[in-house]
Amino acid sequence: MAIHKILFASLLICLLIQSSHAATKERLFSDLEKSALEVTATPSRVGEGVGVDKLSITWKVSSTATKEPEFKAIKVKLCYAPASQVDRPWRKTENELFKDKSCPHKISSWSYDPAMKAGQSFDYTLERDIPTGTYFVRAYAVDTKDHEVAFGQSTNEDKTTNLFSVQAISGRHKSLDIASVCFSVFSVVALLVFFVNEKRKAKIEQSE
Amino acid sequence: MAHRNEEEGSIGTSMHGVTAKEHVFSFSDQGEDAWSSHSVQSDDPTAMFAFPVDSEHKAKVFKPLSFAKPHMRAFHLGWISFFTCFISTFAAAPLVPIIRDNLDLTKTDIGNAGVASVSGAIFSRLAMGAVCDLLGARYGTAFLLMLSAPAVFSMSFVADAGGYLSVRFMIGFCLATFVSCSYWTSVMFTGKIIGLVNGCAGGWGDMGGGVTQLLMPMVFHIIKVAGATPFTAWRIAFFIPGFLQVIMGILVLTLGQDFPDGNLSTLQKKGDVSKDKLTKVFWYALRNYRTYVLFILYGFSMGIEMTINNVISEYFFDRFQLELHTAGMIAASFGMANFFARPIGGFASDVSARFFGMRGRLWTLWILQTSGGLFCVWLGRATSLPIAILAMMLFSFGVQAACGAIFGIVPFVSRRSLGIISGLTGAGGNFGSGLTQLPFFSSSRFHTADGLSLMGITAMIFTLLVAFIHFPQWGSMFLGPTSDNRTSKEEHYYVAEWTEEEKLQGLHEGSLKFAENSRSERGKKAAPDGTSTPLENENPANV
């Protein structure tokens, strides 16, 4: 009888794990409707500089989109091209949407209603914390539950066309450099002063 | 009322790092210009110190809450300097998620910089003992602090992976403060308590690796809030460890004192600071196979600890999608466990020695280090945050206590070359850190999680080397002491480090005394030996 109890308990546990697993709902990128949105992104010049240069972005709902009635909002994001993902596992593309790290930079989001089928076009000034790299733009359409249902991107499926590069700020400042040199010099000089002083005192005492 | 103490210190007083029960120097003048506020009863009636001292004026008690000159002050200046250097060396680690975007780093770049950050100290730790002999503990410490501060400040210039690696490499040299700190406490505290004192100094210094994981994200956040962009804010944040180093350097030079009786320059003119020959000391260290075993073992306790300091914050940030400061907090608790974990390890080693002698110490070390490795494997396997944190805490306790336990064994491996061996052991820690970071965390070959598990398995395998540490007089993990009447005496082991010529000059006296004291490592079987052997009957020769 004890064995039956253990088996039953383990079955219960397995079921619980199973159901909780399902509850996390692994929404996959491959399930999304492709090319439901047509997205274009045009840099104002080659080798965009952050904080200064703009991207002209347009998105509109494609005529082939089937899930259009579910759209509640459009989220536009800046995504890494494969070249910027090499040897950088923190930018990896994953099929499970919650794990995917290839589109971390939010550009903007728009509440969607059917009147907006013709889309939007706007300018986006690159944020100052965008790193150097090669990028494309992707727009996700989300439903009322904030789950992605469709997307469109400014490049092709293999992410080889229409990529643009961004040049980040270095973060360096002249004032910082000068301060750094000053404190370094102070540190070395202070040490030498102490050292020489003490040697001199010892010599004086010795000669007495 | 100057009382001249004519007793000459025994040769073989090379203080290259941790020393346990050596006689140091002979010092004459106590002098009226005594620097302590009030004198308490002490064994040496001519000394005017705040604590009871022995005949070398080393303190016989350890009061962590006191700042009295010169002993406790030296202790605090020493461990805080070491602590500050740990902060600087690992300051980049919690900020890597920002730095990697600013400098466009790859995983390989980050890993290589991590290896570089611990590699410099392999050499600086070896050289540090000699430097302290030459310049005294104060200048040894101050040189490290104030000459590596420019490296910390120069993070503001870094523009690419190469620059990042070079700067981290140069900052890493200052980890040699481990040696200068041990040197300083060894001249200030007597042999009976030096284990505890060094355990505390080592553990509290190591805490810096944990504190930095909290401090740097916090400073970064404050600077960002004050208006700087992220890519500038992290550079400014590095000024904080830089300032700390400069301030500590100045404090060490103004408040500290090389020896209980004064500073090196003042004392050098008074008495001869007799030293052993460096080549001989080195030779006996290299000849002893246990040196190499300890080198490797410390590489897989302290080495792993330093590797984790470099990778754990980024690991939690990426794997569990945490905020930068949350990841930092978790990473910090790894390093902060050092506060009690390392002293407890040393204490456990001492307690096991009371019952089982040296064999107890070896088993304690093996148990602690292996369980550390085991929990490291678990940490890599953990997929949920609470389990990962639990595994990490148990892992931290295991490896840090193992660090403390190793230095319960180091003082007994050699008496003549004690300083060099503890310097080499310390260097082994850095070597192990570089060795584990290179294959497991510097390429995209392994996920960081797998890297952690593999590192744990490697650690457990190498920890089996503890079984090979055998002392003829005390045994090893699986073998008892030899039955041979001659070689099973402690004296035989320690006096074997001196040539016949040197023995004739009586240079080995210190080793004899040490051998007698080390009989405690026999455990409960240690019979207080009242009869003196022929060797011990020799009068100290006047050299």
Reported as a pLDDT band with limits 50, 70 and 90, residue A1 is low
Closest by alpha carbon to B329, among B200, B243, B221, B437?
B221
Q: Is it the case that residue A35 has pLDDT exceeding 80?
A: no
Interface contact A131-B104, CB threshold 8 A:
yes
Q: Is residue A84 part of a domain?
A: yes
The per-residue pLDDT for range A177-202, each reduced to its tens digit, is: 999 999 999 999 999 999 999 888 88
pLDDT score of B36: 35
Do the Cβ atoms of A128 and B229 come closer than 8 Å? yes
The per-residue pLDDT for range B31-76, each reduced to its tens digit, is: 333 333 333 444 554 557 888 887 777 788 888 888 888 889 999 9
Task: Give the domain CATH number at A150.
Answer: 2.60.40.1930
The per-residue pLDDT for range B189-202, each reduced to its tens digit, is: 877 777 778 888 99
Interface contact A188-B150, CB threshold 8 A:
yes
Asked, colleague to colleague, whether B66-268 and B276-522 share their fold, the answer is: yes
Nearest-neighbour CA in chain B from A88: distance (Å): 5
Out of B232, B250, B444, whose CB is closest to A173?
A: B232
Reported as a pLDDT band with limits 50, 70 and 90, residue A10 is low
Do the Cβ atoms of B432 and B302 come closer than 8 Å? yes
> Quick check: A113 contacting B, CB < 8 Å?
no
pLDDT score of B283: 85
Interface contact B143-A191, CB threshold 8 A:
yes
pLDDT score of B255: 93
pLDDT score of B531: 39
pLDDT score of A12: 58
Reported as a pLDDT band with limits 50, 70 and 90, residue A23 is very low
CA A100-B383-B326 angle, to 5 degrees, is 75
pLDDT score of B270: 53
How far is residue B155 from each of residues A168, B91, B93, B184, B216, measured CA to CA in Å?
Answer: 18, 11, 13, 31, 14
Residues A47, B344: Cα–Cα separation, whole Å: 57
> Quick check: A127 contacting B, CB < 8 Å?
no
Contacts of B140 in chain A (CB under 8 A): none
Residues B57, B189: Cα–Cα separation, whole Å: 8
> Quick check: A204 contacting B, CB < 8 Å?
no
- Going across the sheet that includes A120-125, the strands are A37-43, A54-61, A120-125
Counting Cβ atoms within 10 Å, is residue B32 exposed (0-12), middle (13-18) or buried (19+)? exposed
pLDDT score of A19: 42
**Average pLDDT of span B465-492:** 88
Percent over 70 (pLDDT), chain A:
87
Which is it for the CA torsion A123, A129, A75, A84, positive or negative? positive
| Assigned CATH topology for domain B66-268 | Growth Hormone; Chain: A; (1.20.1250)
Find the residue in B nearest to A133 (Cα).
B104
Interface contact A129-B157, CB threshold 8 A:
no
**Structural domain count, chain A:** 1
> Which DSSP letter does residue B191 get?
H
Q: Which residue has the higher pLDDT, B277 or B222?
A: B222
- For chain B, which residues make up each domain, given as ranges? 66-268, 276-522
* Lookup: tokens for A199: 């040697």
Interface contact A129-B234, CB threshold 8 A:
no
Q: How many helices (H) and strands (E) does chain A have?
A: 2, 9
Out of A88, A131, A187, whose CB is closest to B150?
A: A187
Residue A60's beta-bridge partner residues? Answer: A38
pLDDT score of B108: 92
SS3 B380: helix
**Average pLDDT of span A115-130:** 85
Out of B232, B253, B447, whose CB is closest to A194?
A: B253
Q: Is residue A62 part of a domain?
A: yes
Interface contact B107-A88, CB threshold 8 A:
yes
> Quick check: B449 contacting A, CB < 8 Å?
no
> Quick check: A187 contacting B, CB < 8 Å?
yes
Do the Cβ atoms of A138 and A93 come closer than 8 Å? no
Residue A78's region, left for phi above 0, alpha for psi from -120 to 50, else beta, is beta
Q: Is it the case that residue B528 has pLDDT exceeding 60?
A: no
| Least confident among A34-48, A124-138, B252-266 | A34-48
Interface contact B102-A90, CB threshold 8 A:
no
> Which DSSP letter does residue B91 get?
S
Alpha helix stretches (DSSP H) within B207-299: 208-225, 230-237, 239-255, 264-268, 278-287, 289-299
Residue A167's beta-bridge partner residues? Answer: A49
The position carrying tokens 């307690």 is B351
Contacts of A207 in chain B (CB under 8 A): none
The position carrying tokens 């990426």 is B318
| Least confident among B27-31, B397-401, B456-460 | B27-31
> Quick check: A194 contacting B, CB < 8 Å?
yes
Residues B94, B212: Cα–Cα separation, whole Å: 8
The secondary structure element, H or E, covering residue B425 is helix B418-441
**Average pLDDT of span B281-298:** 91
Q: Are strands A164-167 and A133-142 parallel, antiparallel or unpaired?
A: antiparallel
Reported as a pLDDT band with limits 50, 70 and 90, residue A206 is confident
pLDDT score of B464: 95
Reported as a pLDDT band with limits 50, 70 and 90, residue B455 is very high
> Quick check: B246 contacting A, CB < 8 Å?
yes
Interface contact A176-B232, CB threshold 8 A:
yes
Rounded to the nearest 10°, the torsion over CA B46, B48, B52, B57 is -70
**Average pLDDT of span B421-428:** 88
pLDDT score of A91: 92
HSE at residue B466, side-chain half, CA atoms within 13 A, is 30
**Average pLDDT of span B144-168:** 95
SS3 B500: helix
The per-residue pLDDT for range B335-363, each reduced to its tens digit, is: 999 999 998 888 888 888 888 888 999 99
Interface contact A187-B229, CB threshold 8 A:
no
Other C-beta atoms closer than 10 Å to the C-beta of B503 total 17
pLDDT score of B525: 65
Q: Which residue type does B164 have?
A: Y
Contacts of B154 in chain A (CB under 8 A): 180, 184
Omega into B70 within 30° of 0, i.e. cis? yes
A96-104 long-range contacts (CB < 8 A, ≥24 apart) are A96/A26, A96/A27, A96/A28, A96/A29, A97/A27, A97/A28, A97/A29, A97/A148, A98/A26, A98/A27, A100/A29, A103/A77, A103/A78, A103/A79, A103/A138, A104/A77
pLDDT score of B493: 87
Residues 75-94 on A with a CB inside 8 Å of B are 86-90
Nearest-neighbour CA in chain B from A178: distance (Å): 10
SS3 A55: strand
* Lookup: tokens for A129: 């914390």
Reported as a pLDDT band with limits 50, 70 and 90, residue B12 is very low
Rounded to the nearest 10°, the torsion over CA B400, B288, B461, B199 is -10
What is the ipTM, given to two decimal places? Answer: 0.81
Residues near B519 by beta carbon (within 8 Å), at least 6 away in sequence? B490, B526, B528, B529
Do the Cβ atoms of B108 and A87 come closer than 8 Å? yes
Residues 309-348 on B with a CB inside 8 Å of A are 318
SS3 B471: strand
Interface contact B250-A88, CB threshold 8 A:
no
Contacts of A173 in chain B (CB under 8 A): 156, 232
> Quick check: B106 contacting A, CB < 8 Å?
yes
Q: Is residue A11 part of a domain?
A: no
CATH number given to B276-522? 1.20.1250.20
**Average pLDDT of span A115-128:** 84
The per-residue pLDDT for range B13-43, each reduced to its tens digit, is: 344 444 443 433 333 233 333 333 333 444 5
Residues 108-127 on B with a CB inside 8 Å of A are 108
Nearest-neighbour CA in chain B from A22: distance (Å): 17
> DSSP labels for B276-295?
--HHHHHHHHHH-HHHHHHH
Other C-beta atoms closer than 10 Å to the C-beta of B312 total 30
Do the Cβ atoms of B134 and B167 come closer than 8 Å? no
Measured in whole angstroms, the distance separating CA B210 from the mean position of its chain's CA atoms is 16
**Average pLDDT of span B186-190:** 82
Do the Cβ atoms of B325 and B222 come closer than 8 Å? no
Nearest-neighbour CA in chain B from A34: distance (Å): 27
Residues B400, B337: Cα–Cα separation, whole Å: 8
Nearest-neighbour CA in chain A from B49: distance (Å): 24
Interface contact A129-B318, CB threshold 8 A:
no
SS3 B526: coil
> DSSP labels for B302-361?
HHHHHHHHHHHHHHHHHHTT--HHHHHHHHHHHHHTHHHHHHHHHHHHHHHHHHHHHHHH
> Quick check: A172 contacting B, CB < 8 Å?
yes
Q: Is it the case that residue B181 has pLDDT exceeding 60?
A: yes
Q: Mean pLDDT score of chain A, rounded to an integer?
A: 83
The per-residue pLDDT for range B86-103, each reduced to its tens digit, is: 999 999 999 999 999 999
Reported as a pLDDT band with limits 50, 70 and 90, residue A103 is very high
Residues B142, B148: Cα–Cα separation, whole Å: 10
Interface contact B146-A187, CB threshold 8 A:
yes
Q: How many helices (H) and strands (E) does chain B have?
A: 21, 0
Contacts of A168 in chain B (CB under 8 A): 101-102, 104, 231
The per-residue pLDDT for range A59-82, each reduced to its tens digit, is: 888 888 787 788 888 899 999 999
Interface contact A177-B156, CB threshold 8 A:
yes
Out of A87, A177, A191, whose CB is closest to B107?
A: A87
Interface contact B106-A87, CB threshold 8 A:
yes
List, in sequence order, every beta strand (DSSP E) within A114-156: 120-125, 133-142, 148-153
Interface test with A, best of B156, B220, B264 (most A CBs within 10 A): B156
Do the Cβ atoms of B88 and B245 come closer than 8 Å? yes
SS3 A136: strand
Out of A131, A172, A195, whose CB is closest to B156?
A: A172
The residue segments making up the domain with residue A78 are 29-167
Out of B150, B231, B242, whose CB is closest to A129?
A: B231
Interface contact A88-B253, CB threshold 8 A:
no
Reported as a pLDDT band with limits 50, 70 and 90, residue B152 is very high
Say what the pTM is.
Answer: 0.81
Do the Cβ atoms of B175 and B125 come closer than 8 Å? yes
Interface contact A89-B318, CB threshold 8 A:
yes
pLDDT score of B491: 85
